[in-house]
């Protein structure tokens, strides 16, 4: 149980284009999902907290207009990287917290974004 999927697993795009990444909780409902970014040999950095039906809460230094987050249902959150640039190339990982459960976060497999 508690499986989280991400799509796509990897994406290569040209500079200036937008990329959408989906995060789904497959066998549970998630009121809260989190988006992280991880650069090589670095720690996961929390970008934003996404609550179903409300606006996302962004961490300090994360541009909300560049990283658009939508959490339209209890099983789906999307992250759109708008006007992507090479410095946005990174490993993007989502996690989900199960509705009514303990504090455990279950992570997706990650999406490798490469911006040329």
Partner 1 sequence: SQKIEQNSEALNIQEGKTATLTCNYTNYSPAYLQWYRQDPGRGPVFLLLIRENEKEKRKERLKVTFDTTLKQSLFHITASQPADSATYLCALEHGNNRLAFGKGNQVVVIP
Binding mask 1-30 for partner 1 (x = CB under 8 A): ---x-x------------------------
Q: How far is CA 5 from the centre of its chain?
A: 11
Q: Per CB under 8 A, does 103 bind partner 1?
A: yes
Residue of 13, 44, 68, 76 interacting with partner 1 (CB under 8 A): 44
Contacts (Cβ under 8 Å, ≥6 apart) of 46: 34, 35, 36, 59
Helix, strand, coil fractions of the chain, as percent rounded to 5: 5, 55, 45
Residue of 15, 17, 18, 42 interacting with partner 1 (CB under 8 A): 42
Q: Per CB under 8 A, does 60 bind partner 1?
A: no
Label residue 48 left, alpha or beta by phi (over 0 means left) and psi (-120 to 50 means alpha): beta
Please report how close the Cβ of residue 112 comes to partner 1 at its closest, in angstroms: 7
Query: How far does the chain reach from its first CA to its final CA, in angstroms?
Result: 37
Q: Per CB under 8 A, does 71 bind partner 1?
A: no
Q: Which residues bind partner 1 (CB under 8 A)?
A: 4, 6, 32, 34, 41-46, 49, 57, 91, 93, 95, 97, 102-110, 112
């Amino acid at each position: 149980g508690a499986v989280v999927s991400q799509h796509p697993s990897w994406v290569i795009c040209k500079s200036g284009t937008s990329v959408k990444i989906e995060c789904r909780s497959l066998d549970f409902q998630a009121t809260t999902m989190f988006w992280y970014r991880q650069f090589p040999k670095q720690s996961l950095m929390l970008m934003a907290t996404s609550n179903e039906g409300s606006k996302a809460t962004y961490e300090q230094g994360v541009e909300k207009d560049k990283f658009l987050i939508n959490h339209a249902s209890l099983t789906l959150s999307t992250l759109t990287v708008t006007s992507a640039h090479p410095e946005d190339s990174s490993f993007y990982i989502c996690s989900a917290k199960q509705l009514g459960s303990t504090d455990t976060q279950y992570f997706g497999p990650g999406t490798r974004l490469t911006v040329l």
